Amino acid sequence: MKTIGVLTSGGDAPGMNAAIRAVVRTACESGMTVYGINRGYQGLIDEDIRELNIRSVSDIIHRGGTMLYSARCLAFKEEEGMQKAIATCKKFGIEGIVVIGGDGSFRGARDLSLRGIPCIGVPGTIDNDIVCSDYTIGYDTCLNTIMDMVDRLRDTVESHSRCMVIEVMGNRCGDLTLNSGIAVGATAIVIPEIHSDVEKHVIERIRRTQKTDKKHFIIMVAEGIGGVAELAKKIQNECGVESRSMVLGHVQRGGSPSARDRVMASEMGYHAVQLLMKGIGNRVVVIKDDKMIDLDIYEALNMKKPVDETLYKIAHEISI
């Protein structure tokens, strides 16, 4: 393979830039031509493409977001859009693509691979919701951002003996909520994988803790559960503690990537190019049991990820 492309797609995540940098430099060092495709699959349809060299990716390893921009591109899901994307690859001589994104982006990568453009997926999403991988680029940075913000909230919550109900990102996956909840010492952690009767669970936790003379409470709720304002009202009425709610929102996505995300992104980007150089496509680079491996995209998308029940049990026991 002589010419490859790289794109970032779906939700942005800190560390995507480090992955782009690794892809570009690994490929350039092997004598390949690399095209940066802007705004995910939209850039392939619109021919929004430029050649990148070793210096094009200078000074980005420490930056959040993505220098290639990201987009959600509905046109790419239609055969017409897909064919336009393939025509663009042919026009620029792009023989393979590294796709940095989430599982939606990997479905697109699989469709392109099946149509003759080998793609390698690199998991980049703050939610850690790529079932096939124990780790996704951006997760560690996001976790630390949440921890930092909640530590600040805790100062004021403690001073006023209040309860703060906080919504954390992660629609279907409670990893961010569970791990940040442990890290900030939350009284209750509510995640979609475990909870159905949210109010009952949270009120029981607070009442139990009130008996030990605790006067301030942090409640962490995953985005997929929602309803934090209503939950705060309910807590105030039922537990007699002044309660507020807060949705942390998009600030969780930003910021300079952590060392772990930079290193992981660099390794994954390197590994992805090694596969393309061997002419291998339709794979996703993942971390399994602390090892970097690659899996068939189709297989990877159909795997199931159980919630870490031991971790949840620990949180439940020590958050008193």
Pick from 192, 189, 190, 201: which is nearest to 173 by CA? 192
* Bridge partners (DSSP) listed for residue 7: 37, 99
Give the E-state strand segments of the chain in sequence order.
3-8, 33-37, 49-52, 96-101, 119-123, 163-168, 188-190, 217-222, 243-247, 283-288, 291-296
Closer residue to ligand ADP (CB): 42 or 145: 42
How many angstroms from the chain centroid is the CA of residue 7?
Answer: 16
Closer residue to ligand ADP (CB): 110 or 205: 110
Q: Is 111 near ligand ADP (CB under 6 A)?
A: yes
Closer residue to ligand ADP (CB): 202 or 261: 261
CA atoms within a 13 Å half-sphere pointing along the CA-CB vector of 306: 5
Candidate list 5, 11, 96, 174; residue touching ligand ADP; CB under 6 A:
11
Q: What one-character-per-residue DSSP string does 207-222 give? A: HHHHTTT---EEEEEE
| Tokens linked to 71 | 């987009």
Q: Is 104 near ligand ADP (CB under 6 A)?
A: yes
Q: Kindly write out the interface string for residues 119-148 of this chain, putting x where it contacts ligand ADP by CB under 6 A and - elsewhere.
A: ------x-----------------------
Among candidate residues 12, 111, 127, 261, the one labeled active-site is 127
Pick from 110, 35, 52, 115: which is nearest to 80 by CA? 115
Phi, psi of 258 (to 5 degrees): -70, 165
Q: Is 305 near ligand ADP (CB under 6 A)?
A: no
Closer residue to ligand ADP (CB): 102 or 181: 102
Is 48 among the residues known to form the active site? no
Total number of residues that touch ligand ADP (CB under 6 A): 18
Phi, psi of 7 (to 5 degrees): -145, 155
Closer residue to ligand ADP (CB): 77 or 84: 77
Piece of 20-28, 96-104, 206-214, 221-229 that binds ligand ADP (CB under 6 A): 96-104
Candidate list 10, 43, 174, 269; residue touching ligand ADP; CB under 6 A:
10
Shortest separation between residue 25's beta carbon and ligand ADP, angstroms? 24
Closest residue to bound ligand ADP by CB = 104
In this structure, which amino acid lies at residue 61? I
Q: How many CB atoms lie within 10 A of CB 308?
A: 15
CA atoms within a 13 Å half-sphere pointing along the CA-CB vector of 267: 17
The set of residues, in sequence order, having a beta carbon less than 8 Å from that of 160 and lying 6+ positions away, is 216, 242
Piece of 5-13, 174-182, 189-197, 297-305 that binds ligand ADP (CB under 6 A): 5-13
Q: Is 105 near ligand ADP (CB under 6 A)?
A: yes
Shortest separation between residue 7's beta carbon and ligand ADP, angstroms? 10
Closer residue to ligand ADP (CB): 134 or 242: 134
Question: Which residues contribute to the site for ligand ADP (CB under 6 A)?
Answer: 9-11, 40-41, 72-73, 76-77, 101-105, 107-108, 111, 125
Instruction: Give catalytic residues, as residue numbers.
Output: 127
